[in-house]
Amino acid sequence: MENVKDKVVVITGASSGIGEAIALLAAEAGAKVVLAARRTDKLEQLSSRIESETAQKSLVVKTDVTNRTEVEQLVEKAKQEFDSVDVLVNNAGVMQLSFMKNDKVDEWERMVDVNIKGVLFGIHASLPAMLEQGGGQIINVSSVAGHEVFPSSAVYSATKYAVRALSMGMEKELSKAGVRVTNISPGAVESELTEHITDEDVIAMFKDRDMNKLKAVDIANAVVYAIGQPASVNVNEVVVRPMQS
Ligand code: NDP
């Protein structure tokens, strides 16, 4: 895709699922991708795959998005390697669904740290560079749970509503400065995301529930579509749900 070629795209949570799929698809479209997460073995494997399948260069940066300094260094290293940061995809996230009565306060705190503070640190680290270079794009991965709240999703939804509120505010503030803002809200996607749920009541609730799920590439398609639009087009909100049979 012409408008994706040679853009520098930084992706948090690139070690699995949706982030990994975004990195691959963006690289296939000619982007220079910067892969960020904590599991560097997975990022190195992805980087090798990108190089062999697309001949694109990529950069691996070990990053915990809850650590402000590490996120600042991520953007700094991307600029050093590729000279600019054109797109930041704030994708890293955790979903530890639980019922409020079960008082999973450590998991509430972790979701706030990764899903909200991690996104804010990404904005803090990349927005000044985008404003200085006269443009860029911030893509925040929220969720259908940022539009609706389900039993056990109260805290996760609170974080994803927060992400969407950030997107909505930024889209209005930054348009005149040339910074595009895209909020992506996936429905259920096959990934590792549900593996971190510890609330036995939630695990039991989902045990026999049969629901169709999207593939990670379905979300990557939406992200690369938003990046690939001409600079005059601001794709602000994309909601992608699986069809149900
Ligand atoms: P995965 O669990 O497969 O991926 C999550 C990614 O986030 C991993 O790469 C993980 O990397 C990274 N991550 C987690 N914590 C941190 C951290 N502290 N610092 C840096 N990276 C971190 O799930 P998905 O691909 O499904 O999720 C991606 C995003 O999509 C999330 O924001 C999620 O909320 C959202 N989403 C997912 C849906 C789904 O059904 N799957 C539906 C709606 C939204 P590592 O562990 O290596 O650090």
Over residues 106-142, the pLDDT tens digits come to 999 999 999 999 999 999 999 999 999 999 999 999 9
Summarize the chain as % helix, strand, coil (round to 5). 50, 15, 35
* pLDDT attached to residue 208: 81
> What atom of ligand 1 comes closest to residue 21's alpha carbon?
25
* pLDDT attached to residue 235: 98
Q: How far is 1 from 229, CA to CA, in rounded Å?
A: 9
* pLDDT attached to residue 101: 98
Tell me, in angstroms, the distance from the centre of ligand 1 to residue 176's CA.
31
Q: How far is 76 from 126, CA to CA, in rounded Å?
A: 9
In the chain, domain spans:
8-236
Task: Tell me the β-bridge partners of 35.
Answer: 11, 60
Return the residue whose CA atom lies nearest to atom 44 of ligand 1. Answer: 143
DSSP three-state, residue 214:
strand
Choosing from 82, 108, 121, 156, the catalytic residue is: 156
Per CATH, the number for 8-236 is 3.40.50.720
* Contact assessment for residue 104 and residue 152, using Cβ atoms and an 8 Å cutoff: no
* Contact assessment for residue 29 and residue 224, using Cβ atoms and an 8 Å cutoff: yes
CA angle 164, 95, 111 (to 5 degrees): 70
Instruction: Report residues whose beta carbon is within 6 angstroms of any ligand 1 atom.
Output: 12-13, 15-19, 37-39, 63-66, 91-95, 114, 141, 143, 186, 188-189, 191-193
Give 131-174 as a DSSP string: HHTT-EEEEEE--GGGT---TT-HHHHHHHHHHHHHHHHHHHHH
> What atom of ligand 1 comes closest to residue 66's alpha carbon?
18
* pLDDT attached to residue 189: 98
Mutate to test the pocket of ligand 1, among 66, 74, 189, 239 (most ligand atoms within 8 A of CB): 189
* pLDDT attached to residue 13: 98
Does residue 161 carry a catalytic annotation?
A: no
Return the residue whose CA atom lies nearest to atom 34 of ligand 1. Answer: 93
Low-confidence ranges of the chain (pLDDT < 50): none
ipTM over 0.95: yes
* pLDDT attached to residue 233: 97
